[in-house]
């Protein structure tokens, strides 16, 4: 499978931490009857992800509702505890769903994995996709070191 418009999302499980517990999220069930903006980041607490990518979605969160988006979700190949802590630090909790793809299962299924070397290892490329009831209606994968088409501003513009 590839991250492509018209493709149904894979049946994988992601995780999120709410309160003191970690919850499993079946991606297909979670997408049912909803339009969701997903953006993948290479790693929580990394420079571009923390200073620009996630904060852009936090800042423009209310604009997505005006584009008939039900949920905005950030995904990373990290664990749910790290994703919650990062969301707290950046002020994303209560706005952006912080989802952990701890084994890179979704990233692999979408064909967006990349080896980031000895420090980060295998992660997901920076990318975004919009799913309407589990069907991808918009997708963009960044070139290494870039943040253009997966930025909050670019995604809003694509949702015209």
Question: Which of 32, 15, 33 shows the shortest CA–CA distance to 24?
Answer: 15
CA neighbours within 13 Å on the CB side: how many for 149? Answer: 14
For residue 155, the number of C-alpha atoms closer than 13 Å in the C-beta half-sphere is: 35
Please check whether residue 104 is in contact with residue 40, taking contact to mean a CB–CB distance below 8 angstroms.
no
How many Å apart are CA 24 and CA 53, to the nearest integer?
Answer: 25
Catalytic residue among 49, 74, 127, 128, which? Answer: 49
| 127 flagged as catalytic | no
- CA pair distance 14, 77, nearest whole angstrom: 10
Identify which of 98, 100, 124, 130 has the alpha carbon closest to the alpha carbon of residue 111.
Answer: 124
- Which three-class secondary structure state does DSSP give residue 144? coil
Owner of token pair 């664990």: 79
Q: What are the catalytic residues?
A: 49
């Amino acid at each position: 499978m590839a991250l492509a418009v018209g493709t149904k999302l894979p049946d994988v499980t992601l995780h999120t931490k709410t309160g003191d517990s970690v919850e499993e999220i079946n991606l297909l069930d979670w997408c049912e009857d909803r339009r969701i903006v997903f953006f993948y980041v290479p790693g929580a607490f990394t420079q571009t992800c923390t200073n620009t990518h996630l904060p852009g979605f936090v800042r423009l969160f209310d604009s997505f509702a005006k584009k008939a988006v039900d949920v905005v979700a950030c995904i990373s190949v990290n664990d749910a505890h790290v994703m919650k802590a990062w969301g707290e630090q950046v002020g994303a909790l209560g706005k952006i769903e912080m989802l952990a793809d701890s084994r890179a299962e979704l990233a692999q299924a979408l064909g967006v994995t990349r080896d980031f070397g000895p420090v980060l290892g295998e992660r997901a490329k920076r990318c975004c996709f919009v799913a309407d009831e589990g069907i991808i209606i918009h997708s963009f994968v960044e070139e290494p070191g870039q943040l253009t088409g997966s930025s909050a501003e670019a995604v809003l513009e694509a949702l015209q």
